[in-house]
Chain A
Amino acid sequence: MKQKINNSKGSTEEFDLTVMDLDNQKYVLRLYITGTTSRSVIAITNLKKICEEFLEGRYELEVIDLYQKPSLAKDEQIIAAPTLIKKLPLPFRRIIGDMSNKEKVLLGLDLKKV
């Protein structure tokens, strides 16, 4: 939540607004997978389930196969696969693995407070 303060314009009012807004913020997610490995498939299934449950109607998920677009690996600084990148809302975050640990996925998506 610390980073949030940096992004707000500084006033307490705006901060409160932002916090209230949190529940309605739109999520932009990108999932990078490597072909049709079992790990990729599991990741997609897991992630979709979590998104439907917690972010219904306010998320945008794009699944990208790195084998099809290898140059993206460099541009997006990806080393591990599968990697989920949370572009919005900030902070920027990478979630790696097959998303089988639901708690950690929620933590990474800032949907659950520590």
Chain B
Amino acid sequence: MSRSSNTLLNKNLQKSPTGIQGFDEITCGGLPTGRPTLICGGAGCGKTLFGMEFLVRGATQFNEPGVFVSFEETNEELTQNVASLGFDLDQLIRQKKIALDHVHIERSEIEETGEYDLEGLFIRLGYAIDSIGAKRVVLDTIESLFAGLPNQLILRAELRRLFRWLKVKGVTAIITGERGEATLTRQGLEEYVSDCVIMLDHRVTEQTSTRRLRVVKYRGSIHGTNEYPFLIDENGFSILPVTSLGLKHSISNERISSGIIALDKMLEGKGYYRGSTILISGTAGVGKTSISAHFAEAACKRGERVLYFCFEESPNQLMRNMLSIGIDLKPWVEKGLLQFQATRPTFYGLEMHLSATHKAVNGFKPHIVIMDPINTFIIGEKEIEVKIMLMRIVDYLKSNQITALFTSLTSGENSFEQTDVGISSLIDTWLLLRDIELSGERNRGMYVLKSRGMAHSNQIREFILTDHGVELQEVYIGANGVLTGSARIAQEANESAEMLTRKQDIERIKRDIDRKRKSLEAQIIALQTNFESEESEAIKMIETEQDSIKRLEQDKIEMAESRKADDDSPAI
């Protein structure tokens, strides 16, 4: 069983890695080993560079020496041109890792006098290959032969023979060809080189250019079929196959503060999730950047690194403006925790932005990335492309557990819930800032439109920019609707006045009752005193009466004694 799968593996097409960033991923390993590959595209789309990088990387990284046969540029020009990419051809030539051969054909010097073949070219190529043991060959651009040699019949037959010969030689070859009107190449080279065809494209839309690469054909191998954007920078080619990313990011439960306490409170009192994507959208001048700056400052205070892309303001302007609301970002920049990347969106194409983002993120390794604002991209690009690009950025940042905060400017005519970029589905937490116009004032309101995975507040808060940062106030919601700004303040004043009078009323009533009680108590005391005096008089009278009764009886006894009356018979 294992043996059969092994042999199957061996039978699989062998591939030579190009070492070109991203290319080996989309072709599942590189170019077909021992076979010619056609690279076609218009002028200036990077064919020569692709070939050169294939050779240089092969020589330096995979120990496969290579021969570069140039039909257009001289060796000196070629060496100079690729030196800007950090390739030192001279040294590689000295180390016998790369051989250059410039085939010069001058039409005016040549006279055809009968049958011929291109054996001379074969010998040259064979000699170059054998002299350094080359495994890789680039022919750039072989179509120049058509301009130099008039006999097309011979040329076509010889080219067919050449490609067969290359296969027999077992070298992995790249043949470049200029794009034709209706065909992939001007001279129909795709007829001869049919194992692998790669198309490079350089497109200008709305004054910004984008380079794209597509694997048109790859015999005997699976490959990505999309148009992949690529760029050429000081590190050579890089292709961005980021759409191949799945939704497999690891998820963090950690929460990080937004830098605004009241906003944290709206988000369960904890703030955003780490690694989530936050969108702040709103009309002009509602404070999107201020919220971003708060977030950046809070992160820097935690000791995290923040990468701030500003597409509209220069970093210095932004820092000055933020100072006016009490956020001082300069110390963090100096400490190296905060890095600004300021470029105009129209400065280069989307892919360049994407790659610049990648590079900046890879270089700085931030915890938080802020892009302010994202919808300026729309000016130069089509909406769908912007969306794809942002999706890539979001994917990329998420897979690296980087919290991303985007701001988006909503134009007044659109509904607020609609971002220009149409990326709402990518967003985890969406804060909406809107202006509320009321009684001749324009005030700012904020609410959480959505926040995945948390029970967020559903209230509109009034958003106030103070000299010590952003403050969120509860808006007044009453019989007259939502009140903000001075209307809210007036309403609040009214309320407190009313409260005061009410309080005073209560005091008065309390005092009244007190007084009543006091007078009542006085009356009670007076009555009691009256009663007491009457009572004592009555007691006195009773005592007098009892005394006189006693005295009468005494008198009777004394009278009887004096009459000497019988004790038994009553006297008188």
Contact = CB atoms under 8 A, between A and B. Distances in A.
Interface of A: 32, 34, 39, 42-43, 46, 66-67, 70-71, 73-74, 77-83, 91-101, 104-105, 107-108
A74 B562 CA distance: 190
A71 B112 contact: no
A80 B127 contact: no
A92 B116 contact: no
B112 A93 contact: no
A97 B115 contact: yes
A80 B120 contact: yes
B113 A34 contact: no
Contact of B111 (A42, A77, A78, A108): A108
B113 A32 contact: no
Contact of A98 (B111, B114, B120, B126): B114
Contacts of B116: 39, 80-83, 96-98
A70 B126 CA distance: 9
B117 interface: yes
Given A79-B103, A98-B115, A100-B114, A93 B120 contact: no
A81 B114 contact: no
B527 interface: no
Contact of B105 (A79, A100, A108): A79
A76 to B, nearest CB: 9
Contacts of B560: none
A57 B127 CA distance: 36
A80 B117 contact: yes
Nearest to A109: B111
Contacts of B126: 70
B145 A79 contact: yes
A81 to B, nearest CB: 4
Contacts of A77: 103-105
Interface residues of B, number: 24
Interface in B113-130: 113-121, 123-124, 126-128
A71 B127 contact: yes
B149 interface: yes
B103, B115, B121, B149 — most chain A CB neighbours (10 Å): B115
Contact of B119 (A71, A81, A108): A81
A80 B104 CA distance: 12
Interface of B: 101, 103-105, 109-121, 123-124, 126-128, 145, 149
B120 to A, nearest CB: 4
A95 B113 CA distance: 7
A99 B111 contact: no
B124 A79 contact: yes
A82 B123 CA distance: 12
Contacts of A78: 120, 124
B123 A96 contact: no
Contacts of A80: 116-121, 149
A40 to B, nearest CB: 9
Contact of B115 (A39, A93, A105): A39
Given A74-B101, A79-B105, A80-B118, A96 B113 contact: yes
B132 to A, nearest CB: 13
Contacts of B120: 32, 34, 66, 73, 78-81, 83
A81 B536 CA distance: 161
A82 B118 CA distance: 9
A67 B123 CA distance: 7
A99 B101 CA distance: 28
Contacts of A70: 123-124, 126-127
A101 B127 contact: no
A96 to B, nearest CB: 5
A80 B116 CA distance: 6
B113 A73 contact: no
Contacts of B123: 34, 66-67, 70, 73, 81
